[in-house]
Structure 1
Amino acid sequence: MQAIFVQFKCRPGKAYAVASALVETVEEISEVYSTSGQYDLIAKFYLEAGRDIGHFVTERLQVLDGVSDTFTTVAFKAFGRA
């Protein structure tokens, strides 16, 4: 599985609706958080190995009503306590 993080800039007043739509319609989502700063939300997704990240983001996420911009970060390794 490949983990990616996507930050979402939402149209004014739409952040909570976008967060709800992500949780309700995107099965690959792990979690979503509201944030402050340049972006309104950040979400973590797990994609199958070899899946086209660009198609996933542009065809499944950027088309959600209320999304005005995204920024995607690909994660390589998770670190944690043993």
Structure 2
Amino acid sequence: MQCVFVQVQCKPGQAYKVADAIALKEVHSELYSTSGQYDLLMKIYIPKDKDIGHYLSDMIFGIEGIERTLTTMTFAAF
């Protein structure tokens, strides 16, 4: 599994709706409300046999109310 973190900036007033939609998809390991430029932060484990871009696009990026995302990939460093 590949671990990625996705920060989500929502359209004004849409953060709770977006969070509910993400939760219903059950693709995340953790989902948090955050302060700052982005409204939500989620941790997702993507199966090794899946293309990361396609997986996120199919599962997350089409959710109504998402304005912008920032994906951070992780690597085994230690």
Any idea what SS the aligned residue of 2:53 has? helix
Aligned length in residues: 78
**Is 1:66 matched up with 2:44?**
no
Identity %: 49
Q: What secondary structure is seen at the aligned counterpart in 1 of 2:38?
A: coil
Q: Tell me the TM-score normalised to structure 2 length.
A: 0.89
Which consecutive residues of structure 2, in runs of 5 or more, have no partner in the other structure? none
In structure 1, the gaps of 5 or more residues are none
Deviations 1:24-82 (A, max 9, x none): 11x32101101111110000111111311111222221110110111000112388xxx
C-alpha RMSD of the superposition: 1.6
User: What TM-score does the superposition give when structure 1 sets the normalisation length?
Assistant: 0.85
Q: Read off the aligned partner of 1:48 and give its amino acid letter.
A: P
Q: Distance in 2 between matches of 1:15 and 1:56?
A: 22
1:33 equivalent in structure 2: 32
Q: After TM superposition, which residue ranges in structure 1, 4 or more long, deviate above 6 angstroms?
A: none
